[in-house]
Structure formats: structure tokens, C-alpha cells
Structure 1
Amino acid sequence: MVRFSDFRVFFLLAASLLIGVTAGFSQTNYSLSGSPHFKIEGGSSLHDWAMISEKGVGQAVFVLENGQFKSAKSLSISFVAETLKSGTRGLDNNAYKALKTDKNKEIRFVLKELTGKGASLSAKGDLTIAGVTKSVSFPVKMSAAGMKLTFEGSLETRLTNFSIAPPTALLGTVKTEDEIKLSFKSTFQPTL
């Protein structure tokens, strides 16, 4: 015959095991800190080019175990497209026109899944450029300094994947190549 006290002992034992298993885990809100680095590189019939932005906003919820990064519950990051600068006004203006920045102000990435262990991870998510959203995946390196987490990676894609016509200049004599490389380095810190 099972007694009520047996159920109580079983319940207390199960509860203490559950608490012991989850006690080391926590979900922590993070935000983008410092100066992020976003870069778009490509080529043309005249020369290679690059545009860099060091401004952006981002939020994330990371799962930590005993203060160590375990996984990402969510992450989104965006920056204003017109903060991308090449150092050449004409190139910048052609790029903004191609990116349709008058209607699509931001470039945005929303993480859907982060897999892997340690410093070598793989990210999957939705990347929005010029108002077009595409599913992308790419390798990511992660490093930690105290509670700050830095993510670094790159993705090779095409302008036409985002319905962007490669820009031309000088009456069409200079043509931008379709292939581009997107790279980033961004640091997140706990939200106060």
C-alpha cells in the first residue's frame, strides 16, 4: 500500500533533482555594444570596392550555464543602410540607389538557429536587404571576454538574390559584379 508520505518524498526528490539540473542555466538579455563592424565588399570592371558601417542596434537572449555561453534563444541586429561608407561619394550614392534606401532604410538579420559548440558555430536566419528577405546560413566564430560575447563571420551571396540590379557608372562602362561578400564583427554585453 502506497502512503501519502511516500508521494511527498518522491515529489520532493523529483523537485530537488529538477532544481539541481536547471540551477546552473540562465537566460540573459544582451544588447549590441561598442562599435560593430559591418562590411560589404565586391568588384567591378574598374576596381574592387568596400563599404563599411560602424553603427547598429541589436538585442539578444543568450542561455548561459554557470556564466558560460551555451546557446542563443534569440538575436536580431540591424543598421541604417546609409551608414555604409566607401570613402567615395559617387560610389555611396550609386549603392544607396541600388539598395533603395529611400524606401528601405535598414539592413537587418534575425537569427533562427545557432548550432555548434565552443568558438565554432553555424548561424541560420533571415537577412533583409533592400526590402527583400532571404534565408541564409554561415559560419560564426565566437569569443568571450568576461560577460561580453563577440561574434564574427562572413557570407558570400549575390546582389540579385535580393532583387538588386548591380549598379553601373559612367554611362554603363563601369559595371558592378553580382557577387558580394558580407562580413561582420559585433560584441554583445548584458543589458543593465
Structure 2
Amino acid sequence: MRSSISIALLLFLFVVGTAQSQNFKMQSSSDIKVEGTSNIHDWELDAEQKSGSAVLESEDGKITGLKSLQVTIPAESLKSGKGGMDKNTYKALNTKKHKNIEFNLEQVKDFQDAGNNNYKVKGVGTLKIAGATKQIPLDFTMNVNGNKIKISGEKTLNMTDFKVDPPTAMFGTITTGEEVTVKFTTNFTK
């Protein structure tokens, strides 16, 4: 009886011991852009500052899932290269009151191994912009190479869903479209 309990305990410890989480931190080399349109020309904002983390799950050295993903962008680090446009953007985002744009992955709906250390992920997370929080679906690809992860994708959003009025300029003669596309290639390391 005692030996069967010992064997069961050893098997339990072996099974538990093979599953592990790996923590990664976002690198400054990550690229996050917001692209939009106006009645004059298309425009683009670059996130010059960003931070975040990711936690991978693995078993027996094989990646089995993405446990968490979190990204924070200081709203006033979004830069277009045009001071007037940046001011209008910050006003629309109410950056005096709401300092950060935040994304937090809440659930992974589908995680597929696409071969060559690439994975396709379908998830749902919360996105907070200008103080408004909304749950959004987000599909992206992930490449794992040793101690490095690259997560890439894009998501189109309607600014009014976050109670953000599209910025205008020149007394309303220049108007931006309601939709923006966020494109990201983010790098994480252990």
C-alpha cells in the first residue's frame, strides 16, 4: 500500500513538474502604429514608448499556450511628426485625464501550432482607450525563437466605440475617419 502511494506521488510530481510558465518582457524595438484616414490624406501615429509582458505555457519543452499578454502605451507617446496633429490627437484622447492606452488578453479561444516555431492565436481581451474599456477579439501570429517572442497582427477599431470623437483641424475643414487600424510587431525576451 505504501509503495503504491509513493509511486502515485512520484507520478503526480513528474506530471506537475513538466508543465511550466515562461515570463517575457516587451522590448523597445517593438513597433506599434496607428493608421487612419482624413478627407485630405492618410495619417500615421507611432507609439514611441510602450511596455508589456507575455507569459507562455510549455510542457516537456513544447509551447502549449499563451497564458497572458499585456501592453501599455502612454497616450502622449503617440507621435505623427506633426505637432498640430499630435495636439488634436491628445485632445481627442483626453490625455490630461487618461494617461495610458492598455490592452490585456483575457482569454485564448484558439492556439494552433503553424510549424517552424510559429503559432496562430485567436484571443479576446480588454482594450482601454480614453478611459473607456471594451472587450475586443484579437487574432495574431506568434513566433517563438529560444528566449525571444515576436507577436504580430493588426486590428481595425472604430474610435466612437471608445467614446472618442475623431479629431478635426482647421475649424472642422479637415476631418478624420472614425476607423483606425492598429498594426503591431512586438518583441519580447526573457
Provide TM-score, normalisation by structure 2: 0.90
CA distance in 2, matches of 1:52, 1:70: 32
TM superposition shift of 1:122: 0.9
Deviations 1:4-42 (A, max 9, x none): xx2x22222222222332332111222112422111111
Query: In structure 1, how many angstroms separate the alpha carbons of the residues matched to 2:87 and 2:61?
Result: 45
Q: How many residues end up aligned between the 2 structures?
A: 184
Q: Is residue 20 of structure 2 the alignment partner of residue 19 of structure 1? A: no
Q: SS in structure 2 opposite 1:93?
A: helix
Change (3 A) 1:69 1:55: farther
Could you list the runs of 5+ residues in structure 1 that have no partner in the other structure?
1-5
| Alpha-carbon distance, 1:159 to partner | 0.5
Q: Give the whole-Å Cα distance in 2 for the aligned partners of 1:34 and 1:87.
A: 19
Residue equivalent to 1:60: 54
Report Cα offsets for 1:83-137 as digits up to 9, x if no partner. 1111111111111110111111111001101231221111211001111110011
How far, CA to CA, are the matches of 1:36 and 1:161 in structure 2?
A: 26
Give SS of 1:35's match: coil
Whole-angstrom CA distance in 2 between matches of 1:58 and 1:41: 21
Match of 1:13, SS state, is helix
2:155 is aligned with 1:155:
yes
Q: Which residue of 1 aligns with 2:171?
A: 171
Point out 4+ residue stretches in structure 1 off by more than 4 angstroms: none
Q: Which residue of 2 aligns with 1:138?
A: 138
> 2:89 matched to which residue of 1?
95
Aligned to 1:15, the other structure's residue is in SS state helix
Q: Does 1:74 align with 2:68?
A: yes
1:37 & 1:49 partners in 2: Cα distance? 16
Equivalents in 2 of 1:29, 1:180: separation in Å? 31
- Normalised to the residue count of structure 1, the TM-score between the two structures is 0.89
1:171 aligned counterpart, secondary structure = coil
Secondary structure, aligned partner of 2:11: helix
Name which of structure 1's ranges 147-156 and 65-74 shifts more when overlaid on structure 2: 65-74
Secondary structure, aligned partner of 2:27:
strand
Give how far 1:54 is off.
3.6
**In structure 2, C-alpha distance between the alignment counterparts of 1:90 and 1:84, rounded to whole Å:** 13
CA distance in 2, matches of 1:14, 1:28: 27
> What is the RMSD computed on CA atoms of the aligned residues?
1.5
The letter of the residue matching 1:168 is: T
Counterpart contact for 1:140–1:154, Cα < 8 Å: yes
